[in-house]
Amino acid sequence: MNKKKVNENVLKRFHYSTDSVIDKPFNWHQMLRLFSYMKPYRKNLLPLSIAMVIITTLVRLAIPILIGKYTIDKAIVEKDMSLLTILVTIIGSLYVLSYVANIFRIKWMNDLGQSVIYDLRKHLFTHVQNLSHRFFDQRSAGSILVRIMNDINSLQELFTNGAINLLMDLVLLFGIIIILFTLSPSLTIAVLLILPIMFFISTSLRRNIRRSWQLVRLKQAKMNSHLNESIQGIRVTQSFTQEKENMAFFDGVNWETYESWRVASQKNAMFRPMVEMTNALGTAVLIWYGTSLIQTGPLTIGVFVSFAFYLGMFWEPISRLGQVYNQLLMGMASSERIFEFLDEKPLVAEKENAIEIKDLQGRIQFEKVVFSYDENRTALNGIDLEIHAGQTVALVGHTGSGKTTIANLVSRFYDASSGVVKIDGMDIKDISLKSLRHQISVVLQDTFIFSGTIMDNIRFGRPDAKDEEVMSAAEAVGANFFIEKLSNGYLTEVEERGNVLSVGERQLLSFARSLLANPKILILDEATASIDTETELKIQNALKTLLSGRTAIIIAHRLSTIRESDCIFVLDHGHIIERGNHQQLMELQGEYHHLVKAQFQVNSAS
Ligand SMILES: Nc1ncnc2c1ncn2[C@@H]1O[C@H](COP(=O)(O)OP(=O)(O)OP(=O)(O)O)[C@@H](O)[C@H]1O
């Protein structure tokens, strides 16, 4: 296997914060919080599983003593055939009982574990879905995906087996020790001499093995995260012919995963033989000292047999307790990352008594609005503007001047750092987020298409719309021309992101989606930028349909599309430097005039 060398600059591009998190100390508070997810099942699955665990444990504890002390020492040695029949029947019935209880134990414990994982994943997804834009600005989609999938998966074992087995193992361990002591205290002390070795294996060696497996998981998470980014960006990678570098990096993470897996399984492979050697040591002590006790009298053969059975069972709970402890520590690291997301509060929070607005007029005001995405740069610097209900206004200005930021504040994707944004005279913060966003529709240059049919995608903004309403919305914006040419028309399946459609076609779909949603405020952010001039002319009427009766904010670099606007705001570095209609601004001979002239020259030159 050859690992390709990765260019240093390519390596620097990828940074995965999870790399540093390996182990977390035990934390009671976090543990309780994690286990509180079992609460909904405290009246059914949890007690049922515990009852089955107790039944199987008690049966396991009873059988060796029934075989050794009673069947061998009493029935066989004393040749009591009726006692033998009774004992064989009891032992047989106990085995059946244990078999049945075990089936239900596994079933209910799995149901419990899976239900908790389902709830936790649902809770996390619902929470993440309601977080503000700023949260998503700061994280890659891959890193969020890894937490929702990998971190929650790593808790699966703990909830499915670990937590309840803990109870079974404690009962089993203490039960065995008590029974051994009652059978023969001196032999018990002798065989328990192997206990320190057992503890060493189950704590220190296991700890080492656990760390290795954790490393494997982290490497897998890193690979998942990278894969997500690679596939999403495959077109850019191909166009810049960066496949080799990308492959080399992938090869690197793939190799790291392979290596970590190899080391972990090597260590794991050592574990079993060591356990068997320790068991053999215990058996040697039992045979050597047990036989001498039988010869000198204090021990019967039956008790010796029971002892051998219990000793065989002894390692199991100790080993599993070590395993559960490992699962708990691994669960600590995962749950810390999960709770970090769950504790994240939406920065754009809704007031408790937020007003539900039903019939919005659509008047928008900005009063001395200042806004920064981060401390170092101010995106909006004291914006004052008023847009009357039903007006169509345009925002123009250089790249990065703050146009989209104004649109983001109207939809309340972010809150102003200072100043007030008002809609119909109400501070936007007093309005319930859902009812506000319900009345606003944003059409972006790069429209997101969800997997599903064309029909589903147009219906996205109003799920209860009838098929005919969807089609007439598509017709109104002229999207029907290309939809009808598709293999299955409105029922054509498009994959996530709609890569089989052109950017212009996606925009037309987005227009239809917005028209159907029937918002009071419409924001078109470079929405016609990818439509050719001919199509744009064709949809001018459609745009009129789309804009009529609503307040519209159009952000456009192509100035020909905004001439008709009631008011044009010219932005520069977060300030409004000019305002007025096309005529007024041309007469002003300022920045707008300059931009129009520059664009005219570019167009004539081309
Ligand atoms: N999510 C973000 N986090 C941090 N800074 C941002 C973010 N979005 C935009 N900015 C910054 O805020 C400033 C204004 O950006 P904005 O997107 O409003 O510009 P714009 O006028 O719409 O530009 P364009 O015409 O290129 O779309 C820019 O300096 C930009 O780098």
The domain spanning residue 309 has which CATH number? Answer: 1.20.1560.10
Q: Which residues, in sequence order, are CB contacts of 145 under 8 Å at separation 6+?
A: 224, 225, 228
Number of domains composing the chain: 2
Question: What is the C-alpha to C-alpha distance for residues 365 and 41, in angstroms, rounded to an integer?
Answer: 51
Report whether pLDDT(4) > 60.
no
Instruction: Give distance in angstroms: CA of 140 to centre of ligand 1.
Output: 18
CATH number at residue 572: 3.40.50.300
Ligand 1 atom, smallest distance to 526 CA: 27
Q: What is the ipTM of this complex?
A: 0.96
Look at residue 446 and tell me if it is in a domain. Answer: no
Beta-carbon contacts of residue 207 (< 8 Å; ≥ 6 apart): 326
Q: Which atom of ligand 1 is nearest to the CA of 574?
A: 14
Residue 70 vs residue 165, higher pLDDT? 70
Range of the domain at 373: 360-433+562-606
330 and 396 fall within a common domain: no
Q: What is the mean pLDDT of residues 361-367?
A: 94
Distance 400 CA to ligand 1 centre (A): 5
Per-residue pLDDT for 571 more than 90? yes
Atom of ligand 1 at shortest range from CA of 557: 25
Tell me the pLDDT band of 429, cut-offs 50, 70 and 90: very high
Contact 333, 23 (CB under 8 A): yes
Torsions phi, psi for 444 (to 5 deg): -100, 170
Contact 382, 569 (CB under 8 A): no
pLDDT tier, 120 (very low <50, low <70, confident <90, very high otherwise): very high
Distance CA 226, CA 230 (A): 6
43 within domain boundaries: yes
Rg (C-alpha) for the chain, rounded Å, is 35
Residue nearest to atom 2 of ligand 1 (CA): 373
Residues 139-191 pLDDT 10s: 777 778 878 887 888 888 788 877 777 888 888 889 999 998 998 888 888 88
Question: Residue 459 falls within a domain, yes or no?
Answer: no
From 2-6, 40-44, 280-284, 489-493, the region with the lowest mean pLDDT: 2-6
pLDDT band at 56 (very low <50, low <70, confident <90, very high): very high
Note whether 206 and 312 are within 8 A (CB). no
Task: Indicate the SS3 state at residue 344.
Answer: coil
Q: Do residues 309 and 396 both lie within one domain? A: no
Per-residue confidence (pLDDT) for residue 379, from 0 to 100? 92
Last residue in a domain, options 316, 342, 368: 342
Measured from CB, residues less than 6 Å from any atom of ligand 1 are 137, 373-374, 377, 379, 397, 399-405
Reply yes or no on whether the pLDDT at 529 is more than 80: no
Question: Residues 577-590: what's their mean pLDDT?
Answer: 92
Are 427 and 306 found together in one domain? no
* Type and span of the H or E element at 554: strand 551-555
Tokens representing residue 4 in the block: 């390709």
End of a domain among 342, 369, 389? 342
Measured in Å, residue 523 CA sits from the centre of ligand 1 at 16
448 CA → ligand 1 middle, Å = 19
Q: What is the pLDDT of residue 19?
A: 44
Asked if the structure places residue 132 within a domain, the reply is: yes
378 CA to middle of ligand 1, Å? 10
The tens digit of pLDDT for each residue in 10-27 reads: 666 655 554 445 556 678
Which tokens in the block code for residue 298? 């204090």
Helices and strands, number each (H, E), in the chain: 24, 12
How far CA 471 is from CA of 84, 117, 130, 466, 488, in Å, comes to 83, 41, 31, 9, 14
Cβ-in-10-Å burial (0-12, 13-18, 19+) of 282 comes to buried
Residue 327 and residue 425 share a domain: no
Check whether 70 has a pLDDT greater than 70.
yes
In a domain, 500, yes or no: no
In a domain, 97, yes or no: yes
What per-residue confidence (pLDDT) applies to 20? 47
> Is 424 found in the same domain as 282?
no
Nearest alpha-carbon partner for 359 in 423, 421, 281: 423
Q: Are residues 322 and 260 in the same domain?
A: yes
In a domain, 158, yes or no: yes
Most confident segment among 190-204, 213-227, 513-527: 513-527
* Percent with pLDDT over 90 in the chain: 31
- Residue 317 and residue 395 share a domain: no
Averaged pLDDT, 490-513: 81
The pLDDT assigned to 369 comes to: 95
Let me know: does 242 contact 233? Beta carbons within 8 Å: no
209 and 244 inside one domain? yes
| Residue 515 pLDDT greater than 80, yes or no | yes
Same domain, 295 and 389: no
Q: Does 1 score more than 60 pLDDT?
A: no
Q: What is the pLDDT of residues 329-347, one digit of tens each?
A: 778 878 888 998 999 988 8
Average pLDDT over residues 90-104: 94
Given ligand 1 and candidates 405, 444, 554, 562, which is best to mutate, with the most ligand atoms within 8 Å of its CB?
A: 405
Question: Would you list the DSSP string of 432-480?
Answer: -HHHHHHTEEEEESS----SEEHHHHHHTT-TT--HHHHHHHHHHTTTH
- Report which of 192, 204, 202, 201 is spatially closest to residue 282, judged by C-alpha positions: 192
Q: Coil, strand or helix: which one is 362?
A: coil
Are residues 146 and 53 located together in one domain of the fold? yes
Out of 132, 403, 573, 575, mutate this one to test ligand 1's pocket (max ligand atoms within 8 Å of CB): namely 403
Per the model's pLDDT, the better-predicted residue between 240 and 395 turns out to be: 395
Average pLDDT of 312-324? Answer: 78
Pocket test for ligand 1, best of 138, 366, 399, 404 (most atoms within 8 A of CB): 404
Residue 206 belongs to a domain: yes
Question: Is 299 or 123 the better-scoring residue by pLDDT?
Answer: 123
Mean per-residue pLDDT of the chain: 85
CB 130 within 8 A of CB 346: yes
Q: Clarify whether residues 259 and 313 are in a common domain.
A: yes
CA of 373 to the centre of ligand 1 (A): 9
Q: Within this chain, do residues 312 and 222 fall inside the same structural domain, yes or no? A: yes
Position 557 pLDDT exceeds 60: yes
Tokens 């001018």 sit on residue: 540
What does the block give as tokens for 408?
């983001």
134, 370, 373: residue to mutate for ligand 1 pocket, most atoms within 8 A of CB:
373
pTM (two decimals)? 0.76
Name the domain boundary from 297, 312, 342: 342
